[in-house]
Structure formats: structure tokens, C-alpha cells
Structure 1
């Protein structure tokens, strides 16, 4: 063998590690370029076929493993990863909609999804219309000949309405319209979207799957081969890739996700029940309570409730007072997102977010983390004193 310079040795080592290494963590494969055995294998490779590897953007053993595990949680067959939940939403829209088409979104939809709908309407010739999240079977009356996609979110991640997913999916199927479910709140644990009739399940893995408030990622899961092919084409054309380190963090988080989810759920129920008895609060929007819109749908379809819920303050308290309440909390951070180990509280101006919002008091959303719920209750009680 020709002697190589030190520079070439640094780039191209002859060392090969011994075979037989095994460990529980999934290996992290960093790659943009994927090497082929020979020219014939390069020419026969197809990024659409996940039986092999063609380029880092289209998958490595690390990302393929994560996709397979996420699909299994939802009872799906195919999964595509995106850099964020919003990126996953955009990928679905751009895969399934074209100029002249129509999409229906619930009025309580995740606000960036609402903004995306407005963008599609303004710049792409696609009409985005908003419907009452509790419309149920009445969605049939809103479906037009050019309606190609119906978005659902269960529940709405601020106002917490739980839609009748079964009725919406049944009506959509009768008219040949696809239904996409944002299932981030239930994480595939408290509800599996395909069980209620959804065609596409989207999740923001930023939440419970990672669990550490340190990863941005989204997933699009399907059962149908042809539908997955349409989505995969959009995924490729938009260059939707995720880094191996982030994929590993989500894989690591999955192993404890149900334990954490159940702990969030139990703590949130305890805090929500306590808040329900407070004179400062006129309504607790947690699906386990009858006053939460869609409670019966949650009772029928869900097995859990996660850690996210909202409350509405008595209207005698001004926005300045409720802002001071949030500022006075010491165990709750002020920040968007949820599903992490740390508790959060965020006030919302609902009149600017919803078309027909009728509650006059301020809405504050809580993400109950993994702190002791008794400590969280004591912290809230102290903050109530500033009102």
C-alpha cells in the first residue's frame, strides 16, 4: 500500500472498529453524503425506498428507527420527520393542496397553522375557511366540491374544545375529503388518530416525545401507501431534514414518555381540580370537567388528559391584574410550548384570536410540569394574593 501523508491519514483512516458492539441507545449516524458499495448500487438507489440509504436528507439508521417507533405508537405504517411541528403542517398542506383548492381549519387551531392558512389564501390561490371546532357531523354542510383537506386539533391547545373526531372523519370520508389530525396533545398515548378515522396524524415532537424543552421536530404519520408517497414527495421537494443528534434526543425521550405523560396528567388533574374551587376562576377548561366544551367527546375517545389546560379569570380582574398574577408565579415560567418537565403559564388575548369568543375574563394557559403539584398549588395561591 502506498504510504499516505499525515493529512490523508487524518481524512481517510484505515482503522475499522471490531464488530460485535451492542448497547441499548440507538447509534447516532451523522451523514449528509451516504457511500455506495459501487456504481451499480448508486444508480439503483431510490430515496423513496426506505430499504436502503441514498442521502442524509432522506434518512439514516437513526432517523429510520425514530420514524418506525413513532408510527408504531400511533398504529401507522409510514412516518416522515420534519424540523418542527409547523414544518410538518406546511408539508401536509403543500403536498395535498394546489391553486383553486379549499381547506377547512377549526377556529381554535394552533395559531401558526391559522397564519399558514391565511398565507395560502393570500398568495397561493387556496381558500382556507375556519369552522366551529364543535361542528361535528355538521362539517358535511361546509364541504365544497373543491375541499381537499380538513384539519382537526384535539383538543384546541388554548381554548381546549374537544371535537367529535369520529363524526368529522365519517362526514369527510363520505365526500372523499382527507382529514389531518394534530394529535400533539394526546401524543398517540391518550388517543390514536387512526382509531377515530383520521387519514393523517401530525405531531409536534417538540412536546412530550422529547420532554426536555430542547428539541424542535415534527412527524407526519400515515397508513396508506399512496398518501405517504404524496407526502414524501413534498418532504423531498421542501428539503425537510432533521439532525441525527435531535433524532437521538427524541428516541431517548420516547423510552420514558408514557411515564412522564401519566405524571403530567395526574398532576394537572390535581391542580385543575383545586383551581376549580377558587373564587378568582370562573371556568377551568380541562376536558375532564363537564364545563369544558366537548367533554363528552373526550370521555368517549380519550384515555388520558396530559398536562395542558386553561382557566378563565373572573371578569372583575383586569388584564393588568392577571398579568401581574402570571408575573408573580415563581415555579411557572412564561413561555410558549408545553410537554416539558417545567411548568409554564401564559395569558392570552382571546378576543383577537377567536371570531366568536364570548368569555369576558382573561384566559391563562397552564402547562403542568413534573414539579410536586402541591408546590405548584402553593405557588398559584401566593400569586392569587397579588390580585
Structure 2
């Protein structure tokens, strides 16, 4: 099997099929013409990805999906319109009314919203569990447990989950394990070797890499491929071939970008650890992080997203700090070339565990800027914690 960097360059490409073109062309279509009425009316296995109608996918779509599947070691993958839709598809593919779902308490907040507002009225019981539970999840499994949903690390509080231990317990009861792997990307882990059955990504983030794309992708092992593919069809999800082309182009440079994101993030995170205003940095790639051993065991690297717990300050000081940053945009998402900051409000939704940091927390995405400039920007903004006047955001 080729190494990940080689797969990034070659997976999903077939120049010989397209007059020698290096990149799979963009196929824009709704209607696909069939040569005979017999071929038009012939039964089709959607799991085999026939080119039969635009909504079902085009060669551009399939090239992107093939590249992700090869990179993750999956049986197959399917694109969806965004990361949340990928979570929705994965859960609906394996759950039915009357079942019980276990969800990590550190899960992406919109995923929790879907579970609480949509799955519960369908007759699915949703239970949140401590992300640090590991093999102890066996005590929560029931005869009607339909799935275990993981996210490692959590996208706000960055707890690393012991996925192999969770998977071993779940598989002993015939229960599938799903995981949101957006932080680690398809490049930095082999999720199916860790025991995951369905791997989920917001390709909007590092796969796209340029903050200009909305796309999700679900990859599966052989057992769960047909249910996932059928669910995408039944819910009428469709992704523009232009977006698939953009995602595939982003995938080609994923390795080099992630190496720079990690290098920059480690430099900034280590600097932040030494600052008097900082209590701790939540980043599994740091040797001091509680999840570092699991990160080192299971992953090949880290992305550029982490949180910082400040020492206690009031809301006005926190506002001065965030608004005072000049190189960090205030905005949702992450994974693009630019640095971002948001305030962490995890305490507002945790139910199985308590999130009580000693001070306010912010989440930083460290982009591709020079880390010395980012550090200088953070230093001047930290100084504003002690100031009595507001600063405008640049």
C-alpha cells in the first residue's frame, strides 16, 4: 500500500480515461442519456455508483470519494453537502426507532442538536457519555444500543478518546462505532485500523483548506457501506461536481499544509504555555496534555486547532483580548489557511460530565501565517487583559 503522501497525489486520478488530463474534469449534469430503454430501466445498485443521474454523482464526485476512501483504508466513501449532513447520514444509516445511541459528551454541538431535536422524537434514546470512559463504555451498552458515536479529540475541549478500547467493547456486542474525525483528517490516522466502522469528516475544513468550500464525506467498512449510500440517496443529498473538484484539489496539498499547521501550532501552543496569563493549553500534541499518549499511539500528527484556558479574568477583559487580536479572525469553522479565534462555551451543553475550567477559554486555529507574527499578536492581545480600555478588532 502506498504511503499517505503518495496516495494524496495519485488517488482518484485516471488520466488515461480523460485524454491524459492530470485532474479528473468537472462533469456538470442533471440528465444522463442512456443508449436504450432497456439500459435506462435496468435495476441499478447505487452502492456500485452508477452514472445514471446527476444527483447520484458524476465521475468528478466518484474521484473525490475514491481518493478519501483509499487514504483512510475504507471500503467506500460518499460525499455530502457539509460536515453536519455527513453526521446525519451516518447516524440515520445505522439507527432505527426503539434503539439507544451513545454519544460522547464532547461532541460537536450541532451534532448534539440533531440527536436531541431529531433523533429523540423518532423514538431513539440518546445518552451522552464521558469521553474519557475508554473500555468502561461496556457498562453503558444495552441490548438495544444501535451505535456509539465518538469524536477524538473533542472539537472544543480536546479530550482524546481511547477508540480501540471503545470499539472492542462495542464490537463484542455487535454494535457499530462511528467517529467524527475532522480534527485528525483522513491523512493523519487510519480509523478502520483503530476499530471505527464509519468515519466522518467535514471536508469544509482541512480537506478544502481555503475557507471557500462546504462539503462532507462519510467513509465506511464493507458492512456499513450500502446502508450509508442508500441513506444519502433517500435523503436526496447531492454535492456539486464543482465542489467535489475543489475538495479533490485541496486533498492534493493536505499533507504539506497539515505539516505546516502542526509546526506552527506547536510553536504557538508552547509559547502560550509559558505566558503568565495562561493556565493551560488543551492540545494533545503537547507532551503535557492528558491525552498525549493516546494521540501519539493512534495518530500520525496533529492539526492546528486547540483551546487555551486563561487564568481567571472578567468578561470585559476577555472581550478586550479577543477583540484586540489583529491576525486572528473571529468566525466559525477552521482548517483554512487563516488563523481564527472563538470563545469556548462548553459548559452550556455538557450533560454527562462537567466542564468547569479555572478561567475563560478560547479556541484558536493556527493558520499558515508566520508563527512569530501570531505570537506577537497574541502577546499584545494578552496585554489587553490588564488594560481598562477596549480595543477594536482589526
Structure 1 and Structure 2 fold alike (TM over 0.5): yes
Following superposition, the deviation at residue 47 of structure 1 comes to 4.9
Rg comparison, structure with higher value: 1
Residue 184 of structure 2: SS of its match in structure 1?
A: coil
Unaligned runs of 5+ in 1: 1-18
Q: Would the alpha carbon gap of residues 20 and 340 (structure 1) be closer, same or farther in structure 2, given more than 3 Å must change?
A: closer
Q: Would the alpha carbon gap of residues 35 and 188 (structure 1) be closer, same or farther in structure 2, given more than 3 Å must change?
A: same
Matched, 1:259 2:270: no
Give distance in 2, aligned partners of 1:47 and 1:21. Answer: 28
Q: Which of 363, 366, 380 does residue 365 from structure 1 map onto?
A: 363
Worse-superposed segment, 149-158 or 34-43: 34-43
Q: Would the alpha carbon gap of residues 51 and 107 (structure 1) be closer, same or farther in structure 2, given more than 3 Å must change?
A: closer
- Cα deviation digits, residues 27-82 of structure 1 (max 9, x gap): 00001111112212112251515363111111111001111001011011211111
Residue 385 of structure 1: SS of its match in structure 2?
A: helix
Q: Which of 260, 263, 270 does residue 267 from structure 2 map onto?
A: 270
The within-5 A match list for 1:111-122 is: 111-122=109-120
The within-5 A match list for 1:1-387 is: 21-44=19-42, 46-50=44-48, 52-224=50-222, 226-315=223-312, 317-355=313-351, 356-387=354-385
Asked whether the 8 Å contact 1:47–1:53 carries over to 2, the reply is: no
Question: RMSD between aligned alpha carbons?
Answer: 1.4
Give distance in 1, aligned partners of 2:301 and 2:18. Answer: 42
Q: Normalising to structure 1: TM-score of the pair? A: 0.92
Moved over 4 A (4+): none
Give distance in 2, aligned partners of 1:376 and 1:187. Answer: 24
Following superposition, the deviation at residue 291 of structure 1 comes to 4.3
Q: Normalising to structure 2: TM-score of the pair? A: 0.90
Unaligned runs of 5+ in 2: 1-16, 386-394
Give distance in 2, aligned partners of 1:200 and 1:349. Answer: 28
Residue 273 of structure 1: SS of its match in structure 2?
A: helix
Give distance in 1, aligned partners of 2:191 and 2:18. Answer: 39
Q: Would the alpha carbon gap of residues 20 and 64 (structure 1) be closer, same or farther in structure 2, given more than 3 Å must change?
A: closer
